[in-house]
Amino acid sequence: MVAERVDAPWLPPGGRALVVRGGRAPAPMCLVRLLLRRDDRVFCVPRDGAGKLDLPTRAVAVGDPGGASTLAELVAVVTGAPREAHYVGAVRNVVDVGASDYPWPAPLANFGVWSVGGAPVVRGDWVGVDAATSLLRDRHWFPLLHGSASATP
């Protein structure tokens, strides 16, 4: 575990968000994210029509609890070809009691990040990932890019 956020504001009361690096991709996987890295930059696309940049992301399809098929589709779309993706880690929401406005499974919901080689064939931007200055530093997955363990309030 590289980071933990207790009582994360995006979770129901008492929920925790854990950022876990490495291991095997857990289920249920809710979103898959693709990490293409070039030195100190990562490839990003606008998310959810809001214009905020994020890693290419896709919601996991029903019937694909580990996200493997959804990930393969995302890799092919973003890089233009099937490629081997390597699991980096996940943000794991731990929610003992769900809420009507919480759309993910309880008690566990995982949001995975995989790295892949190659160049993107879709439009996007290369964004710096310096821990102090990156415009991505508020993304839940961001601690996966940096080595030191930390806990946030």
CA distances from 104 to 54, 65, 129, 152 (A): 20, 13, 28, 22
| Short-list 90, 82, 99, CA closest to 29 | 90
Residue-wise pLDDT tens digits, 5-47: 998 888 999 999 999 999 999 999 999 999 999 999 999 999 8
Give domain limits for the chain: 3-35+55-121+141-145
Check: CB of residue 75 under 8 Å from CB of residue 85. yes
Residue-wise pLDDT tens digits, 86-139: 999 999 999 988 788 899 999 999 999 999 999 999 999 999 999 889 999 989
Q: Give pTM, 2 decimals.
A: 0.91
Strand partners for 152:
5
